[in-house]
A and B are shown apart, each in its own frame.
Chain A
């Protein structure tokens, strides 16, 4: 039986419908990531799960128990969870008191509190900060206090809302390390919201994609990343090339897709005549100066329209009769002498093309 079961959850703020028919099962010990763009409703889902708010409709079961809409039971269940809010606020007290609060509220004995707080502060690397006022901490340190005070009560479920949003890269790595440590050592069930694809992929066993208040896809990280179910998910997981077309032939699992002025080949068992989108990740496209260098089934000649350096990689936009975006290492961008107007050959494998069924009337 799932530790947390969410059935038909709907939520509105005033007139605005924020969540629509959310269904989720989270197993004991599982790490589940809720990913989606800002405003999709991730925070709202976590707030409902943590019983901070009452859903407009739907049910939440915790460990088989149906959560009532009011009453003492909500507090009891809430005390079995911890929630690190999106913008964690530390109390204007010492670091020690910040972390000890949750235990005091649960009526723990003083000597036990002392032991647990010290241990958890050591885990997050804030042992020497016990007596500091928490308001004097940096953003990353405050986030570690927030993690520590959530973990010190040994929750059955830990809820994390964008645990590294607004942090610098070094602090982000530190927090991710601590989260990994918690996952490995504590075996805590975890539900985290993030708009950072790679973070979800890195930390979670299973990912749910939420867009516009609806869960559009649930699966393991690889599946969501490689095989997005629809155009919105594809867009969100970084499939930047989404080209509309129609299947014209299917020979032993290799299909030809007519995209108007060109044909793209893909591996699929889609029937002929099907309207589809061809999704291609920009990092799956290789660029070369001549055609012969590539063995990929798809190869198009195009003119570079824009090159943007993103540090170690460069984003190359080109026009091959249809727009195409590729990510190449900055070194090869330099070697190919890529600049606006240059002619290049873009190639990608048939297996690198992911087909998404298209509803007629769907527009790009």
Chain B
């Protein structure tokens, strides 16, 4: 018990003193997750709109598959990316395994279903009346789609936030394709999971607190936006 208490105190010291290693790890986590989140958004929002605004055969099935993939295990995505980029794998020549690029790719694959699914449901939340109003005021198909995205912007933002949350908090994939290399691919979650077993409790607790705070800040900001 005392050990945990000590750990907590030291962890707070690490944070308050802006310990270089803690900051470096937190910064990398943020960079990787923000990048994967932005890249995934730039795919999911247009793709989600495309799926939502077009009627095609098997649309229902596509949406079902997307929703099923919401809960794809992180290690499965990790395994997939690992196999893809390993030396013997089909994309092995790129030589990006155990780099932040591989981690970004892994996280993108991981969060695309949830972002895509939530974007589609956000767009479906906009009533037919809004669509009719836009069309009747002279909007083209594309302009109408933009109106709908704009009307559902807070719900779409929530989809992006959910994606970010999943990206920054996952450990399985980051560990498998990043390798927790100190100063290179070590992120908050990989550090926590490996350093704890090595007995470095202070670092783990400090990073845990930072991770929680990040989640809190993002959620509060989103709530603020939605209430406007």
B134: A residues at CB distance < 8 A: 101
The reply to whether A102 and B137 form a contact with Cβ atoms under 8 Å apart is yes
The reply to whether B129 and A82 form a contact with Cβ atoms under 8 Å apart is no
The reply to whether A78 and B133 form a contact with Cβ atoms under 8 Å apart is no
User: A62-96 CB contact bits vs B (8 Å, 1 = yes)?
Assistant: 00000000000001001100110101110111000
Binds A, one of B31-39, B143-151, B192-200: B143-151
Closest to A104 in B: B143
The reply to whether A102 and B138 form a contact with Cβ atoms under 8 Å apart is yes
The reply to whether A50 and B136 form a contact with Cβ atoms under 8 Å apart is yes
Interface size on B, residues (CB 8 A): 16
* B130 CB-CB contact with A under 8 Å: yes
The reply to whether A150 and B135 form a contact with Cβ atoms under 8 Å apart is no
Main secondary structure, interface of A, reads loop
The reply to whether B140 and A85 form a contact with Cβ atoms under 8 Å apart is no
The reply to whether A78 and B130 form a contact with Cβ atoms under 8 Å apart is no
* B183 CB-CB contact with A under 8 Å: no
The reply to whether A93 and B150 form a contact with Cβ atoms under 8 Å apart is yes
Main secondary structure, interface of B, reads helix
A91: B residues at CB distance < 8 A: 130, 133, 147, 150-151
Contacts A89-B127, A89-B130; A79 near B138 (Cβ below 8 A): yes
A153 to B138, CA, bound (A): 9
Contacts A89-B130, A105-B143; A82 near B150 (Cβ below 8 A): no
Interface size on A, residues (CB 8 A): 21
Q: Which of B135, B136, B139, B151 has the most CB of A within 10 A?
A: B136
Q: Tell me the minimal C-beta distance from B116 to chain A in angstroms.
A: 23
* A149 CB-CB contact with B under 8 Å: yes
Contacts A91-B151, A92-B151, A93-B150; A75 near B132 (Cβ below 8 A): no
Closest to A155 in B: B138
* A272 CB-CB contact with B under 8 Å: no
* A109 CB-CB contact with B under 8 Å: no
A105 to B135, CA, bound (A): 10
A101: B residues at CB distance < 8 A: 134, 137, 139, 147
A87: B residues at CB distance < 8 A: 129
Q: Tell me the minimal C-beta distance from A59 to chain B in angstroms.
A: 21
* A57 CB-CB contact with B under 8 Å: no
A93: B residues at CB distance < 8 A: 150
The reply to whether B132 and A105 form a contact with Cβ atoms under 8 Å apart is no
User: A26-40 CB contact bits vs B (8 Å, 1 = yes)?
Assistant: 000000000000000
* A52 CB-CB contact with B under 8 Å: yes
* A112 CB-CB contact with B under 8 Å: no
A329 to B123, CA, bound (A): 55
A105: B residues at CB distance < 8 A: 137-140, 143
The reply to whether B132 and A78 form a contact with Cβ atoms under 8 Å apart is no
User: A115-155 CB contact bits vs B (8 Å, 1 = yes)?
Assistant: 00000000000000000000000000000000001100100
Q: Contacting A150 at CB < 8 Å: which of B129, B137, B139, B143?
A: B137
Interface residues in B84-140 by Cβ distance below 8 A to A read: 127, 129-130, 132-140
| A-B contacts besides A52-B136, A88-B133, A92-B151, 19 pairs, CB < 8 Å | A75-B138, A78-B135, A78-B136, A79-B138, A82-B136, A85-B129, A85-B132, A87-B129, A89-B127, A89-B133, A91-B147, A91-B150, A91-B151, A101-B134, A102-B137, A102-B138, A105-B140, A149-B137, A153-B137
Q: List 21 A-B contacts (CB under 8 A).
A: A50-B136, A52-B132, A52-B136, A75-B140, A82-B136, A83-B136, A85-B136, A88-B133, A89-B130, A89-B133, A91-B130, A91-B151, A92-B151, A102-B138, A105-B137, A105-B138, A105-B139, A105-B140, A150-B137, A153-B137, A153-B138
